[in-house]
């Protein structure tokens, strides 16, 4: 056969019209068939990044530098509430510890003065202004005590007798973040210890713009086996311009131990609003320049079409696309021939 097919199949550019007659389709083994409509409540698989649930974890921070002077546990160790995790050296925390002790003593002392001044004010011995002065001083000391106590609570430390600070486990769980060695420096405002529940995970799911409206807070999250393992707790309504995707966050209860923090996996969402999609059989979809495409039947041949895939099933891919409905026909076989025509190839 002469190289005449190239003249009959005019594919001037990617995603362009491919002209071919019925006779030529038959000769090249190209067939077409209709797509189908499907209504499904399952969206996915969605790429999900797994991490520990922060709401059920305890992270330890410092607002200044410190050093590890003794390390009792490491990442992966299970700990009990009240257990000493490590000891740290911090001049700032040590100074704040002395200040906290002093301020508490002053506060107890001035509390007695406040009670005395209140009684004197009620008896008309002193003015309300004089009474207010002692009350305001007591309030200022109480505020400073709260600030210092919060700092120690956030750091998770308890002052020691040797000038070091003991870091205490504030919950039962497994260590998921820890220093690596003694003498390691602690970077301010970054967690240096974290205790987590291994079965309490979170998942950040990537959504295409067309999937945002299909998923709602409270929708169930399924694993690849179809087992419910969690629920959606938030859905972003905005799209990241650099990735052209939005995010949904799910709380995962993984008792199987198969999910690992820091990994990615494919998850499904059982949407509360079933969506109607177009099902294109797997054999009608082909990759072109890294994108999934199909060939839509036209009056003169076929039109290559990039697909906006919203889900995958055993039968094929699910798309929601303008210009496609239940009457649309796509190439079911001979896709290699059509793809070759897009690239300007001829065939004997």
Residue 140 has pLDDT above 80, yes or no: yes
Q: Is residue 279 part of a domain?
A: no
Question: Do residues 28 and 75 both lie within one domain?
Answer: no
Say whether both 166 and 128 belong to one domain.
yes
Count of CB atoms situated within 10 Å of the CB of 254: 17
For residue 235 the two structure tokens come to 């859905």
Note whether 31 and 88 are same-domain residues: no
Answer yes or no: is 83 within a domain.
yes
The answer to whether position 348 is within a domain reads no
**Confidence band, pLDDT 50/70/90 cuts, at residue 12:** very low
| φ and ψ at residue 219, rounded to 5 degrees | -65, 145
Q: Which residues pair with 158 in a beta bridge?
A: 166
Do 262 and 327 share a domain, yes or no? no
Question: Domain ends where: 148, 167, 196?
Answer: 196
The Cα–Cα gap between 90 and 166 comes to 11
Total tally of structural domains belonging to the chain: 3
CA-CA distance, 201 to 176, in Å (whole number)? 12
* pLDDT exceeds cutoff 60 at 31: yes
Contacts of 113 (CB under 8 A, 6+ apart): 134, 138
What digits encode the pLDDT tens for the residues 141-169? 888 888 877 777 777 776 655 567 788 88
Mean pLDDT across 115-131? 74
Q: Is residue 178 part of a domain?
A: yes
* Residue 107 and residue 231 in one domain: no
Q: Which helix (H) or strand (E) is 131 found in, with range?
A: helix 128-155
> What is the span of the domain harbouring residue 308?
5-35+285-342
CATH number at residue 124: 2.40.50.100
Residue 195, beta-bridge partner list: 58, 175
- Residue 331 sits in a domain whose CATH number is 2.40.420
Please indicate, yes or no, whether residues 230 and 181 belong to a single structural domain of this protein.
no
Higher pLDDT, 110 or 162: 110
* pLDDT number for residue 10: 43
Residue 13's pLDDT is 40
Last residue of a domain, one of 196, 230, 257: 196
pLDDT at 161: 52
Check residue 120 and give its pLDDT. Answer: 74
pLDDT at residue 40 in the model: 66
Q: What are the tens digits of pLDDT across the range 278-327?
A: 888 888 998 888 888 889 999 888 988 888 777 777 778 888 777 788 88
Question: Token pair 């009990």 is at which residue?
Answer: 80
The reported pLDDT for the residue numbered 332 is 92
Does residue 183 share a domain with residue 125?
Answer: yes
φ/ψ of residue 111, rounded to 5 = -60, -35
Task: For residues 238 and 298, state if they share a domain.
Answer: no
Are 74 and 178 in contact, with CB atoms under 8 Å apart?
yes
């Amino acid at each position: 056969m002469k190289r005449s097919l190239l003249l009959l199949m005019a594919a001037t550019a990617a995603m362009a019209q491919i002209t071919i007659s019925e006779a030529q389709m038959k000769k090249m083994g190209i067939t077409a068939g209709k797509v189908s409509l499907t209504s499904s409540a399952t969206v996915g698989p969605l790429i999900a990044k797994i991490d520990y649930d922060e709401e059920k974890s305890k992270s330890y921070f410092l607002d200044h530098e410190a050093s590890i002077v003794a390390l009792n546990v490491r990442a992966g160790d299970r700990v009990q509430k009240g257990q000493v995790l490590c000891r740290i050296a911090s001049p700032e925390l040590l100074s704040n510890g002395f200040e906290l002790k002093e301020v508490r003593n002053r506060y107890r002392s001035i509390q007695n003065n406040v009670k005395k001044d209140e009684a004197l004010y009620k008896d008309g011995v002193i003015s309300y202004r004089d009474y207010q002065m002692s009350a305001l001083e007591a309030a200022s000391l109480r505020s400073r005590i709260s600030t210092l106590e919060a700092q120690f609570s956030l750091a998770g430390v308890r002052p020691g007798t040797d000038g070091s600070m003991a870091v205490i486990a504030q919950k039962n769980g497994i260590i998921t973040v820890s220093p690596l060695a003694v003498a390691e420096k602690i970077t301010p405002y970054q967690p240096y210890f974290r205790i987590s529940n291994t079965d309490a995970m979170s998942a950040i799911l990537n959504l295409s713009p067309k999937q945002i409206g299909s998923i709602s807070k409270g929708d169930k999250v399924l694993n690849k086996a179809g087992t419910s393992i969690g629920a959606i707790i938030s859905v972003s309504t905005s799209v990241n311009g650099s990735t052209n995707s939005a995010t949904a966050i799910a709380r995962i209860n993984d008792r199987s131990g198969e999910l690992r923090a820091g990994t990615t996996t494919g998850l499904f969402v059982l949407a509360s609003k079933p969506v109607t999609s177009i099902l294109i059989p797997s054999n009608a979809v082909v990759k072109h320049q890294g994108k999934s495409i199909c060939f839509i039947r036209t009056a003169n041949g076929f039109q290559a079409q990039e697909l906006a895939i919203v889900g995958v099933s055993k039968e094929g891919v699910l798309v929601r696309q303008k210009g496609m409905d239940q009457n649309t026909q796509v190439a079911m076989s001979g896709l290699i021939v059509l793809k070759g025509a897009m690239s300007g190839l001829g065939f004997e």
